[in-house]
Structure 1
Amino acid sequence: MTTTQPKIPFVFQIALLPLLAGCSALGFSTYPVAHVMTDDTKAVLAQTPTNLDVPRELAKEVQVAHYLQPGDELLIETVDSDADFRLPADQRVLADGTIDLARFGRVVVASKTLEQAEAAIQRLISDTTHESTRVNVRLIQPIHRYYVIGEVNSPGAYALTGHETVLDAIMEAGGLTARASACDLLLARPTEPTSCRVTLPVCYRSITQLGDTTTNYHLKPGDRIFVSRQSLCEELTGSLLGGKTCDRCCKRQVACCDPRVAPTDLPNFTAPMVESIVPIDPPAAVTPGSETRGSETRGSGARGSGARGSEAPASLPQEAAEPPQRPADGPTPIPGRLDGELDFGMQLR
């Protein structure tokens, strides 16, 4: 006796083919994909308070002092025009934290501010030539990076110059792909392994269509922008629910009666409490074996062409010349290259 197998309707056969093949015309896959927001991430986002007081578009904030690190590009010049030597100008901080100063040897500049690096180079030159020479160190290209990951056309790491927002980063990465989720976008800020996590939701359509700056955050070094892939539910209901505001975004947008109230003429950056830049003068020239001359130099307050008067000390004591250590709770806010100030080197007095 033969039994007949029930026939599957042709429509269902066509629907099952993409699942058996592992892909779908809708863009989803039965296999795991990388650009999916995890449950842990969604749980952290759900715990993130709304209306956080963080720097964003129209309320950006300058960064604290930059501590040199491997990969930073520097320009080193002598300030005194009558110096009888020249230093290698273009320098990249090596992996061991040093730079090469030709006949003066190598000096460690990693974990130092620009002012501290200038002091270290000046001491090295003074120990070799027994001359007081002022040096200017400029940061040409910092190693700061931000990352755009997920459903963008050009994911990768991009150089951070200090003004970028989330929208700048997404546009730099070529914009969203057709499979990008409209709601599952976030900015993840790096934190210590055992600390809490900083994940900030991004309302992309509010930023682009309404000019809402609430989630257009000002980027910091190391920020990660993640764009998730559309879920199956989003793809199936996109034509019906695609125009609705995301749950994490503000749903009470109102139009301004007068467009001129937009704060387009306000300062874009706000400076935190910072200390003034205090240039470090080079050690006074001391001829070997001539203590009298060194005492006279220190007593007179003369420092060659860089003397500013008798009220200023002629040379730095050895303990004062040592670069200060970074505090345990973070670097002291000293203006750096991303702090909104122009760098005039040692001419700042």
Structure 2
Amino acid sequence: MAEIDAVGSLGAISGGDWIMTQFHEMCPMHTTTNARICRGWLMAALVLLGLGCHSTKQHTVALPPPGTVPNEMNMITLPPYVIAPPDELLIEVVAAPTEAGKPPTLLTPQPISGRHPVRPDGTVGLGVYGMVQMAGLTLDQAKESIRTFLAPRVNIKPEALLVVVDVIGFNSKQYFVITDGGGLGEGVFPFPCTGNETVLSALANINGIPQEGSKRNIWVARRSPHGGPDQILPVDWVGITQHGITETNWQVLPGDRVYVKADKFVKADRTLSKVLAPFERIFGVTLLGANTYNQVSGRGLQNNLNR
């Protein structure tokens, strides 16, 4: 079993009255200084109690049965690539030689050779010959589509056209690494999926776990077709990196989300800072104004005494 912390609050812990009692006992309120200090600590404790921490409850996510989900030692080959925007294709088209031993000839009036981006409407531009639909086709289907499209335009039989189509920019098949900022937003990093990525290589693309990340709270969220149940694959980061255990070093598939949750103490600290920062600014301005007033008043009194 791999455990993932359940996100929640400490509202179930009815400790507010206990905290107030303890602070009253530890901080007698017979001086103004003690009262201010204790009230400040009490505010921090109550904010932390209500907003900052995770619940002590955890729910466990069971590992899938061995062999049912591809991982580092049990990778699968992805199905034939289907072209989609905004992929980038390499397209080469020449006419087959009419005589043995002669090289193929370039098309006229315009050769077709080089990089061709798939446009948002799914088409690819072939210069003066026009546009041909590529989205939704495999590479073999794309070759046949280009051959059929060009044959009447260059006055060459389809079987006499030599067509090469390959993908050089896997832009439509991506996975995402998402890092929790611990109360300061989330980072999202898209990467092209080439068929050989694992959790370890995915996180290597962002130089490992960020400083605020938790080693014990990482998972792969796999999208579910037709609104099916969530597919959550927990990751044993310590086992993968420190012990070479490959069981949870899952193969990353197109559309996967590799999520790195923030350390709960970092999140609590940042949440507390966000809540208290406005009060610190207000009190800082108040103290600055009071100090300025006292200094001006003291100088005025000193000038009157000197006279």
Q: Would you call these one fold, judging by a TM-score over 0.5?
A: yes
Structure 2 vs 1, CA of residues 14 and 140 (structure 1 numbering), >3 Å: closer, same or farther? Answer: same
What does 1:103-182 correspond to in 2, within 5 Å?
103-132=128-157, 133-143=161-171, 144-151=173-180, 155-182=188-215
Residues 90-113 of structure 1: per-residue CA shift (max 9 Å, x gap): 101011000011121111110000
1:68 to 50, 58, 83: 83
Please name the residue that 1:30 is paired with.
Answer: 51
Higher relative contact order (CA 8 A, sep 6+): 1
Please name the residue that 1:56 is paired with.
Answer: 71
Structure 2 vs 1, CA of residues 76 and 29 (structure 1 numbering), >3 Å: closer, same or farther? Answer: farther
Is the CA contact (8 Å cut-off) linking 1:151 and 1:176 kept in structure 2?
A: no
Please name the residue that 2:259 is paired with.
Answer: 226
Identity %: 27
The alignment partner of 1:220 has SS state of coil
Please name the residue that 1:82 is paired with.
Answer: 105
Give structure 1 stretches of 5+ with no counterpart.
237-349
In structure 2, how many angstroms separate the alpha carbons of the residues matched to 1:168 and 1:111? 29
What does 1:302-317 correspond to in 2, within 5 Å?
none
The alignment partner of 1:138 has SS state of strand
> For residue 126 of structure 2, what is the amino acid of its counterpart?
L
Higher helix fraction: Structure 1 or Structure 2? 2
The alignment partner of 1:78 has SS state of strand
Instruction: Tell me the CA shift for residue 62 of structure 1.
Output: 1.7
Higher strand fraction: Structure 1 or Structure 2? 2
Give structure 2 stretches of 5+ with no counterpart.
1-27, 96-103, 270-307
What does 1:1-349 correspond to in 2, within 5 Å?
12=38, 15-16=41-42, 18=44, 30=51, 46=61, 49-51=64-66, 53-80=68-95, 81-85=104-108, 86-132=111-157, 133-143=161-171, 144-151=173-180, 155-232=188-265
Alpha-carbon RMSD across the aligned residues, in angstroms, is 3.5
Instruction: Tell me the CA shift for residue 121 of structure 1.
Output: 0.8
Residues 288-341 of structure 1: per-residue CA shift (max 9 Å, x gap): xxxxxxxxxxxxxxxxxxxxxxxxxxxxxxxxxxxxxxxxxxxxxxxxxxxxxx
Structure 2 vs 1, CA of residues 232 and 9 (structure 1 numbering), >3 Å: closer, same or farther? Answer: farther
Size of the aligned set, in residue pairs, is 221
Misfit runs of 4+, over 6 Å: 233-236
